[in-house]
Amino acid sequence: MARQVEGRNAVLEALRSGRARRVYLSQTAQGKVVDQIEKLARDLKIPVVKEPNDVIDKMASTKNHQGALAEAFDLPKMSLEEVFELENPFVVVLDHLQDPHNLGAILRAAEAAGVDAVIVPEDRSVSIGPGAVKASAGAIEYVPIITVTNIARTVDQLKKANIWVVGTSDRADQLYTDVDLKGRLAVVIGSEGTGISRLVQEKCDFLVKIPMKGKISSLNASVAAGIILYEAVRQRR
């Protein structure tokens, strides 16, 4: 089944991952990334269709498409069971995130940190649409996204599979640098407004916080995710 990718970097990564099957560029699109898209598509024998700007605008579902679209095959898939079978799984669990830009940015950080999969709920959560795809800067082409019906139940399953579950909370007693993030690990990131739900917090093996030295009380969800993930990377070297 085809999906639409929007944005220059997202289209380039769709080509690099082997998932793009047709590219559309505006007739006025130019620049380094556009040149890379055209060269790679030519090398891969992927059709490139050039259209007037207004046609690209009508085809796109976002305003910030940068004059580059692609038809692409489905995203990479992984099941929870496959996660359980990994020797040293490293996953992110998103507890009802709402902002597509945060989702995309977390996917970008997760891919860079070597995360095996990102787990999201089926309902009451941001959809994996063009906005999230563009914000991921192509990372979505490489990080499997697992959709589940219930996050709390999924946390129970992760723990049963001997995966330590760490949640982020500004009310936690421990700093994120003071806990062991090596081994089989799942990091839970909560929604922008309310954080991790009470039930999911209760099910986490431990909660951690990021110290805040300024006047504001919390960080953007994607920034917090990046900080925690890279502390895990540092410890897991």
Buried b (16+ CB within 10 A) or exposed e, 82-113: ebeeeeebbbbbbbbbebbbbbbbbbbbbbbb
Per-residue model confidence as pLDDT tens digits over 93-144: 999 888 888 899 999 999 999 999 999 998 776 777 777 877 888 888 899 9
The encoded tokens of residue 47 equal: 């059709």
Q: What are phi and psi of 233, to 5 degrees?
A: -60, -45
User: Residue 135's CB: how many other CB atoms inside 10 A?
Assistant: 23
Fold of 80-236: Alpha/beta knot (3.40.1280)
Mean pLDDT: which of 8-17, 126-135, 211-220 is highest? 8-17
CATH architecture group of domain 3-72: 2-Layer Sandwich (3.30)
The rounded distance, in Å, linking the Cα atoms of 81 and 148 is: 12
pTM: 0.85
> Contact 102/222 with Cβ under 8 angstroms?
yes
pLDDT at residue 3, as a whole number? 86
Domain limits, the chain: 3-72, 80-236
- Cα distances from 91 to residues 17, 67, 113, in angstroms, run 21, 34, 10
pLDDT at residue 27, as a whole number? 95
Those residues with Cβ within 8 angstroms of residue 175's Cβ, 6 or more apart along the chain or in another chain: 208, 209, 210, 211
Q: Is the confidence at residue 193, as pLDDT, over 80?
A: no
Work out the mean pLDDT of the chain and round it to a whole number: 92
Answer with the residue of higher pLDDT: 171 or 124.
171
The rounded distance, in Å, linking the Cα atoms of 86 and 94 is: 20
pLDDT at residue 1, as a whole number? 53
Percent of the chain residues past pLDDT 90, beyond the cut: 73
CA 158, 160, 162, 167 dihedral sign is positive
75 pLDDT band, cuts 50/70/90, is confident
pLDDT at residue 37, as a whole number? 97
